[in-house]
Amino acid sequence: MRIEVTSADVAVSRYAISPLGEAMSALRLCAGQNEVTGLTPWVTRARPAFEQLRRSMPAIDALLALQRRGAYNADFYQPPPDGMAREFADELALVRATPLAQARAELARNLAGHRTPPANARRIYESPAVVDRLADGIEAAWVTLVEPEWPRLRAVLERDLLHRAGRLLAYGWGAAVADLDPRLHWVPGPGVGYLDIDDPDPRTYPLSGHGMLFVPTVFGSLMYYVEQPGPYAIVYQAAGVAELLGPPDPTRPVDALDRLVGRGRATVLRALVAPATTSQLVAQLGLSLGGIGDHLAVLREAGLVTRARAGRTVRYRRTSLGDALAEND
């Protein structure tokens, strides 16, 4: 597959975050349908809640049974974000507003040539309430798997979004897509460039001055939308995800940051790629509550982290000096 890009597409390309997309990707990750490097520890922690959700809500299996690789997946239950700053509730409202005829047509196309879905999933697809039943499943996945961590997840997505947008404006398409995914390749040309995607679809899709929508993801992997009339969009893995949700690698050799502040404090500083509470750091790093507290106290005294209270919650975040040390060690 090839996407044709002109210089006019740079100015109108946009970046967006999709909370609903994260809920769907988290479901697929827990079900073993997708793999994301570095997130095995998160899957291990989340799987008991996922399995309980799956047992209590048949719509979860109905959503998972629709997943296809290299073929059409219905758009109505996971539409690409439109570039607006939408919350999960806004995206879910759009799903629930899908006309029944459209949902049935997309489901029929999705299931054509696909494996036979389980009986409980077929009953949901055939139900006149299919749109709401599937939307209920997405909402349950959001509440169970994503919402408790959403402030941290959103922070790392927004950080990636700002970084990527800056590279696009400053250096052009080649720099912006260079490390999005190994299946994407930028082919420059005079006046026109091409984004080649490793996909059996042989067609070329011109952006024609409408730009591209880039969507960073924590739980998902490469996905692209080329169905019209929606925007052309690419979903890609955000940077810093493994540091956000995975424990430290015990085999990693000692580096300059470890020697400067100590390995334990360096581990905590790296884990604050997005703001976190002490309990979140305990769950992520497998360290004791007292140990995390001691490390945070020293890092605060050194001016590498700061803390902010919102109600009963205290979150720690890196300062600009902490960012510089953690990201350039």
Angle at 200 between CA 194 and CA 205, to 5 degrees: 35
| Res. 144: pLDDT tops 60 | yes
Range name among 56-60, 251-255, 302-306 with the lowest pLDDT average: 251-255
| SS3 label, residue 107 | helix
Q: Which residues pair with 316 in a beta bridge?
A: 276, 307
Q: Is the pLDDT of residue 242 over 80?
A: no
- Residue 190, number of CB atoms within 10 A of its CB: 5
The CATH topology of domain 247-327 is Arc Repressor Mutant, subunit A (1.10.10)
Domain range summary for the chain, segments of one domain joined by +: 2-15+152-241, 19-149, 247-327
Question: pTM, whole model, 2 decimals?
Answer: 0.80
Mean pLDDT calculated for residue range 131-158: 93
Residue 75 has pLDDT above 60, yes or no: yes
Q: Please report, as a single letter, which amino acid is at residue 321.
A: L
Tokens, residue 7: 């210089």
H or E element: which one contains 272?
none
CA 311 to chain centroid, in Å, comes to 27
In whole angstroms, give the CA distance from residue 174 to residue 193: 9
Q: Which residue has the higher pLDDT, 105 or 221?
A: 105
| pLDDT over 90 percentage in the chain | 50
pLDDT of 246 over the 70 cut: no
| Helix ranges restricted to H, the chain | 8-12, 19-30, 40-56, 58-64, 88-96, 100-111, 119-126, 130-141, 150-171, 173-177, 241-245, 256-261, 263-271, 278-285, 289-301, 320-327
Q: What is the predicted pLDDT for the residue at 250?
A: 67
pLDDT tens digits along 18-72: 999 999 999 999 999 988 877 888 899 899 999 999 999 999 999 999 999 878 8
